[in-house]
Amino acid sequence: MTLLKECAVKDNIKEIKYHKKRILDDKSVKRVLLFSAPTFDFDSFDIDAQRKAGAMIYHPIGLPMLAAVIREDSPNIEMKICDAEYETVKIMFETNQKEDVLKKLVEKVLTDFKPDLVGISVVFSPGIKAGFEIASMTRAFDSNIIISFGGVHCTFDYENILKEDFADVVFLYESEITFSGYIKYLNGMEKVESIRGIVFLNEKEEIVKIPYESPPDFDALPIPAWDLLDTTNYYKVSGLSGVKNIGVLTPKPKGIINTVRGCVARCTFCSVRNFNGFGVRMREPEDVLNEIDILYNDYGIRYLEVVDDDFSFDHDRSVAICKGLIERNYDLL
């Protein structure tokens, strides 16, 4: 396959229309299923040891945010999130069995939900193997389902993903706006010229890349759709990391929150600047505190981990958030 030169969207209209015809066949998208790919190796997963220690599993914060944007833009779309990492570990802890656990989970979710479009999120590179397995099972289940990949790993490995011939489209960088816009385009609600930040194969099996323009306004994005995850119960299988040893004797629900994107540091081993761009984009203190209110009151979260790369970038903002928490007098760590 040959990587085409990046061009403006208007130069790729023909390829996008072919892409739509090839995979959609004039069927509208009504149900969207989002998978978070497991990052561990099932063969070497020690159920007893992980159960004792509390597997380190984070809520997949990107997918609830993506789902929240789709809800705002296309409220008639039915959505489901399957955090395959959390769900498979939960099953293994309950049954003490790990044989074909991912296969059985994916088949059940596909059968029950019957999606028109499946999105597979691969943030960390070890998850791409499971991501391919989920895509393969999806293609075998129904070849008409649109299969998309996204996340940090996929942004920088889209050529190899497309070569596997499972993905119909790969989304680049922060894709809340582009993914939602793509759904609206497929449903005839948005013009082709609005499509940005995607990669796919054209009729000649060449890679077509529609350049990514700019990241979304982070502060303008909605609060993540935490109701689409088993948010309250993650602590029963996961200890997270920063709060792993807190509440060992009296376990309570643990949660996460993301208040900034980006980081001012220039660590050579880190991909944050490559993925999120230079600088830091922040959510306003009141917006952050509103989400914490929801996590605390609606989901019973009592141990909260801030998963920012640079929470203290803006001193005044950080202090305002901390003061807001003090004023609320929460029983929260």
Measured distance CA(307)–CA(242) in Å, rounded? 9
Per-residue confidence at 150, pLDDT binned at 50, 70, 90? very high
Strand partners, 3: 207
The pLDDT of residue 110 is 97
- Alpha carbon of 159 to those of 112, 164, 179, 209: distances in Å? 32, 9, 19, 10
The pLDDT of residue 26 is 54
Query: Looking at the predicted structure, is the pLDDT value of residue 51 above 90?
Result: no
Residue 42 lies in a domain: yes
The pLDDT of residue 247 is 53
pLDDT digits (tens, 9 = 90+) for 211-221: 888 888 898 99
55 vs 36: which has the higher pLDDT: 36
Residue 228 lies in a domain: no
Measured distance CA(96)–CA(193) in Å, rounded? 51
Compute the radius of gyration of the chain from its Cα atoms: 20
Percent of the residues in the chain that have a pLDDT greater than 90, as a whole number: 53
Q: State the CATH number of the domain containing residue 250.
A: 3.30.750.210
Q: Which of 15-19, 134-138, 145-149, 283-287 has the lowest mean pLDDT?
A: 15-19
Q: Are residues 77 and 180 in the same domain?
A: yes
Most confident of 89-103, 159-173, 195-209: 89-103
User: How many CB atoms lie under 10 A from the CB of residue 183?
Assistant: 23
Domain ranges, residue 297: 239-328
Q: Are residues 134 and 273 in the same domain?
A: no
Query: Looking at the predicted structure, is the pLDDT value of residue 268 above 90?
Result: no
Q: Are residues 14 and 100 in the same domain?
A: yes
Q: What is the mean pLDDT of residues 29-46?
A: 93
The pLDDT of residue 1 is 44
Residue 295 lies in a domain: yes
Query: Looking at the predicted structure, is the pLDDT value of residue 5 above 50?
Result: no
Per-residue confidence at 239, pLDDT binned at 50, 70, 90? low
Q: Are residues 197 and 256 in the same domain?
A: no
pLDDT digits (tens, 9 = 90+) for 127-146: 999 999 999 999 999 988 99
264 vs 119: which has the higher pLDDT: 119
Q: What is the mean pLDDT of residues 75-84?
A: 95
The model carries a pTM of 0.88
The pLDDT of residue 248 is 54
The pLDDT of residue 54 is 73
Number of domains in the chain: 2
Interior/surface letters 279-310, b for 16+ CB within 10 angstroms, e for the rest: ebbbbebebbbebbebbbeebebbbbbebbbb
Residue 226 lies in a domain: no
Residue 35 lies in a domain: yes
